[in-house]
């Protein structure tokens, strides 16, 4: 627990040394670590008057831009005139009104000569005097001053560390009278129009001179239950500070049981020197239990920013409270994609080979001009041959007395030799022009169509007809062969064989002269002859013998 004269001394010399302290603090700023931050309203006691206000933005910069939302100061407790009408509150009022989310915390003593080591007997008399209303007018004036300055919502830490043995406003000499005096002050200040004060009951951690729960004045006159906790006995480690009677854990539990918010108006280093572990553990505790606010006492030997003798603790404080900032944006190196030119592979121009079309000469087949003599042939006398009467064929009619139907006449086709034109086969194309080969024309033998025998009702013997010499034609024309006419089926008749032609006897009057058309045309037309029948009978007059 800090000595009271340290607060008074800082108030007196704060204005003179403000610039020097700020310069020294800037030089003592430790190296920054990676921040973690905290969303709890945070502040620090930097000085009671205007220098304390001026140092707030400097502390914020030291913390890497951390917002300082709590302004904390103390009223001097030397005499009533400075308690009821302090002359430095105007600077704090301007700071508070600048932002709506700021919080102004004011420690208010309950007695004058608060740090003059007044004995317990005299303290008890002052407590009873206050409980009877002797000092009400001092607190009424203070309330009116705060409302006039625009600080109606001030958090008033009234009679702080009342469980200790130092301040004149301590509780131990008369606990019951002290609670009555607390209630009277609160009711007096709340009676001022326009006020919205919050009263913070803030004992010192541990039992000290008296257990602080014995001084609790009641839920109706307390809005916040705070606790001042420095790195000192009772408790050698932070865990002992938590678990000890009237320690940090009992404080949290007591406030929860009474439905009150908690706070830590004062905390910092003290008996154990530069102790970064304590700073880290205390900030972790605060982050876990979320008090309404917390303020570190920042002057030696308690502080971290304005006290050079605690560099390790200062470093831990900055690391825990400085807001997290994104690291420098390291641009991703743009690796240019190498532009690999696509090799232009020329398409090979393959010349199309010019294949000459072979000129196949059409072979010229000369048409032989053979003079064909036309012999004078005398018209022969053709004897008339009597036609025998055909014997009627037996009746095939199934009905007696009904004559057989007359048979349809069957045309007898006269076969004509078909002489096709000579076929000249086309030679196969070859790269080299072939020598023309004269084709040998094939002359097919004339085929006589053999129609199926048609039954005739009356067979007539075939008589030999005189042959008329055929004139050979140099260009024979094929004669179409007529398709055989198939008659309707009739009753079969006996087939009468056609008599073979009778060759002329020796010394016949028919003379045949062979005709020679040449070798090539004779092969094409065959052997031909012209026959003349001359009647040289004995009665003709030409018979030599």
pLDDT per residue over 101-151, tens digit each? 999 999 999 999 999 999 999 999 999 999 999 999 999 999 999 999 999
> What is the number of alpha carbons within 13 Å of residue 476 lying toward its C-beta?
21
Identify which of 132-146, 348-362, 400-414, 494-508 has the greatest average pLDDT.
132-146
Per the structure block, which two tokens stand in for 503?
């060759």
Helix (H) or strand (E) holding 108: strand 103-108
Residue 370 has pLDDT above 50, yes or no: yes
More confident residue, 302 or 365: 302
Residues of the chain with pLDDT > 90, as a percent, come to: 51
For β-strands 229-230 and 528-533, DSSP reports them as unpaired
Among the ranges given (44-58, 84-98, 302-316, 395-409), the one the predictor scored with the smallest mean pLDDT: 395-409
CA distance 469 to 501: 17
353 pLDDT above the threshold of 50:
yes
As given in the structure block, the two tokens for residue 238 are 């932070």
d(CA 27, CA 523): 140
Residue 6 structure tokens: 């340290």
Helices (H), 310-349: 311-321
What is the structure's pLDDT at 18? 40
Indicate the helix (H) or strand (E) that contains 62.
Answer: helix 50-62
The yes-or-no verdict on residue 313 having pLDDT over 60 is: yes
**Is residue 285 scored above 60 in pLDDT?**
yes
Average pLDDT over residues 406-422: 45
DSSP summary character for residue 421: P
Query: Of the candidates 218, 123, 136, 212, which has an alpha carbon nearest to the alpha carbon of residue 179?
Result: 218
Count of other CB atoms within 10 angstroms of residue 121: 8
- As a whole number of angstroms, the distance between CA 92 and CA 101 comes to 14
Q: Which one of 30-39, 129-138, 337-346, 495-504 scores highest in mean pLDDT?
A: 129-138
Q: Which domains does the chain have, with CATH numbers?
A: 4-321 (3.20.20.80), 508-545 (no CATH)
Neighbours of 76 (CB within 10 A): 20
pLDDT, averaged across the chain: 75
Residue 162 predicted with pLDDT over 60: yes
Instruction: In the chain, count H helices and then E strands.
Output: 12, 11
Q: How far is it between the farthest Cα atoms of the chain?
A: 215
CB atoms inside a 10 Å sphere around CB 437: 9
**What pLDDT, on a 0 to 100 scale, did the predictor assign at position 537?**
54
What average pLDDT does the segment 93-104 reach? 97
CA 465 to chain centre: 108
476 is written with which tokens?
């024979």
Three-class secondary structure of residue 526 per DSSP:
coil
pTM of the model: 0.57
Taking the C-alpha atoms of residue 448 and residue 81, their distance in angstroms, rounded to an integer, is 166
Q: What is the pLDDT of residues 254-284, one digit of tens each?
A: 999 999 999 999 999 999 999 999 999 999 9
Phi, psi dihedrals of residue 530, rounded to the nearest 5°: -115, 125
Q: Above 90 in pLDDT, residue 197?
A: yes
Q: How confident is the model at residue 29, as a pLDDT? A: 37
**H/E segment holding residue 226:** strand 224-226
Q: Is pLDDT larger for residue 72 or for residue 537?
A: 72
Answer positive or negative: Cα dihedral of 373, 374, 378, 380.
Answer: positive
| C-alpha 240: how far from chain center | 57
Rounded (5°) CA angle 59-304-263: 80
Helix (H, G, I), strand (E, B) or coil at 535: coil
Q: How far apart are CA 290 and CA 261, in angstroms?
A: 9
Average pLDDT value for residue range 161-182: 98
- The pLDDT assigned to 151 comes to 97
The whole-number pLDDT of residue 540 equals 52
For 484, which DSSP code? P
Q: Tens of pLDDT along 200-247? A: 999 999 999 999 999 999 999 999 999 999 999 998 999 999 999 999
Closest Cα partner for 204 from 180, 235, 237, 173?
A: 235
Q: Looking at residue 342, what is its pLDDT?
A: 73
Q: Are the C-beta atoms of 64 and 26 separated by less than 8 Å?
A: no
- Give the model confidence (pLDDT) of 378-409 as tens digits: 554 544 544 444 444 444 444 445 455 444 54
CB-CB contact of 277 with 239 (8 Å): no
Contacts of 378 (CB under 8 A, 6+ apart): 532, 534
What angle is formed at CA 26 by the lines to CA 1 and CA 47, rounded to 5 degrees? Answer: 40
Condensed to tens digits (0 to 9), the pLDDT of residues 425-479 reads: 444 444 444 444 444 444 444 444 444 444 444 444 444 444 444 444 444 444 4
pLDDT of 349 over the 80 cut: no
Residue with tokens 């009711």: 187
Distance CA 49, CA 72 (A): 10
pLDDT of 13 strictly over 50: no
């Amino acid at each position: 627990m800090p000595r009271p004269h340290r607060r008074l001394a800082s108030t007196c010399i704060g204005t003179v040394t403000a610039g020097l302290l700020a310069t020294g603090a800037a030089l003592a700023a430790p190296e920054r670590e990676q921040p973690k931050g905290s969303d709890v309203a945070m502040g620090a006691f930097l000085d009671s008057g205007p220098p304390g206000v001026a140092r707030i933005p400097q502390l914020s910069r030291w913390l890497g831009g951390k917002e300082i939302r709590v302004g904390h100061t103390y009223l001097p407790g030397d005499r009533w005139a400075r308690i009821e009408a302090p002359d430095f509150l105007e600077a704090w009022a301007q700071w508070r009104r600048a932002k709506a989310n700021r919080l102004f915390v004011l420690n208010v003593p309950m007695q004058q000569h608060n740090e003059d080591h007044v004995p317990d007997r005299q303290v008890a008399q002052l407590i009873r005097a206050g409980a009877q209303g002797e000092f009400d007018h001092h607190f009424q004036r203070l309330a009116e001053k705060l409302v006039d300055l625009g600080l109606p919502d001030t958090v008033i830490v009234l009679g702080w560390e009342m469980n200790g043995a130092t301040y004149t406003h301590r509780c131990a000499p008369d606990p019951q009278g002290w609670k009555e005096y607390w209630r009277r002050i609160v009711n007096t200040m709340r009676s001022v129009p326009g006020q919205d004060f919050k009263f913070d009951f803030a004992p010192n951690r541990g039992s000290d001179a008296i257990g602080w729960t014995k001084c609790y004045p009641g839920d109706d006159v307390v809005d916040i239950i705070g606790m001042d906790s420095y790195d000192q006995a009772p408790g050698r480690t932070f865990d002992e500070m938590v678990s000890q009677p009237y320690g940090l854990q009992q404080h949290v539990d007591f406030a929860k049981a009474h439905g009150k918010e908690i706070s830590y108006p004062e905390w910092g280093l003290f008996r154990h020197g530069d102790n970064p572990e304590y700073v880290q553990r205390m900030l972790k505790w605060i982050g876990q239990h979320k008090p309404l606010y917390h303020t570190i006492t920042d002057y030696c030997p308690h502080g971290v920013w304005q006290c050079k003798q605690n560099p390790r603790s200062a470093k831990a404080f900055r690391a825990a409270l400085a807001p997290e900032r994104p690291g420098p944006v390291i641009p991703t190196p743009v690796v240019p994609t190498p532009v690999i030119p696509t090799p232009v592979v020329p398409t090979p121009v393959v010349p199309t080979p010019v294949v000459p079309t072979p000129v196949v000469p059409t072979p010229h087949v000369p048409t032989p001009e053979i003079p064909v003599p036309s012999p004078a042939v005398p018209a022969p006398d053709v004897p008339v041959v009597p036609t025998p009467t055909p014997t009627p064929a037996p009746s095939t009619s199934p009905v007696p007395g009904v004559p057989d139907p007359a048979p349809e006449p069957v045309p007898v086709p006269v076969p004509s030799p078909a002489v096709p034109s000579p076929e000249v086969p086309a030679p196969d194309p070859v790269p080299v022009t072939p020598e023309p080969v004269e084709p040998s024309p094939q002359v097919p033998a004339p085929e006589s169509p053999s129609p199926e025998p048609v039954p005739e009702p009356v067979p007539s013997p075939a008589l030999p007809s005189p042959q008329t010499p055929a004139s050979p034609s140099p260009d024979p024309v094929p004669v179409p062969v007529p398709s055989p006419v198939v008659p309707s089926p009739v009753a079969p008749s006996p087939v009468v064989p056609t008599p073979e032609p009778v060759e002329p006897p020796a010394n016949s009057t028919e003379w045949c002269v062979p005709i020679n058309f040449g070798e090539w045309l004779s092969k094409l037309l065959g052997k031909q002859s012209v026959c003349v029948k001359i009647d040289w009978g004995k009665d003709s007059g030409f018979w030599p013998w």
